[in-house]
């Protein structure tokens, strides 16, 4: 069964350092999402890509977060500088596009900022 790949699985970083996460969606999936899940809560959307274009980044803290999907395939989410409040699970998901059959999520990256 096709999977969404994410790395690293775990990341510990010091406050004010830069950190990056990588996601490779299911082949052929045009739409890619980055979600953040704070402990005890449901995931919340940070950014949505349609192919290489950002279509929704209204909840992305743009002063410190950036995301790109240069060739419309894999994607990188970056935080610089990291803050203590950024500690969370970062989940990537993909879907086929306009005709939905549901979203598939990757295993996530658990970030701890110390």
Residues engaged in binding another protein (CB under 8 A):
33, 37, 41-45, 48, 50, 55-56, 89, 91, 93, 100-108, 110
CA 13 to the chain's CA centroid? 17
Residue closer to another protein (CB basis): 29 or 81: 29
User: In terms of CB distance, is 12 or 80 closer to another protein?
Assistant: 12
Residue 109 and residue 5: Cα distance in Å, rounded? 10
Closest CB 85 distance from another protein, rounded Å: 18
CB of 93 to another protein, least distance (A): 8
Element (H, E) at 112: strand 109-113
**Closer Cβ to another protein, 30 or 81, answer by number:** 30
């Amino acid at each position: 069964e096709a999977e969404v790949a994410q790395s690293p699985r775990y990341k510990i970083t010091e406050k004010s350092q830069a950190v990056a996460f990588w996601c490779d969606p299911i082949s052929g999936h045009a739409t890619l999402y980055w979600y953040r899940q704070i402990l005890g809560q449901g995931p919340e959307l940070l950014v949505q890509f349609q192919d290489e274009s950002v279509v929704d980044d209204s909840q992305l803290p743009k002063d410190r977060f950036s995301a790109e999907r240069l060739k419309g395939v894999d994607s990188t989410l970056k935080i610089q500088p990291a803050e203590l409040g950024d500690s969370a699970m970062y989940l990537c998901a993909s879907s086929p596009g306009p005709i939905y059959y549901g979203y598939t999520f990757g295993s996530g990256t658990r970030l701890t900022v110390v």
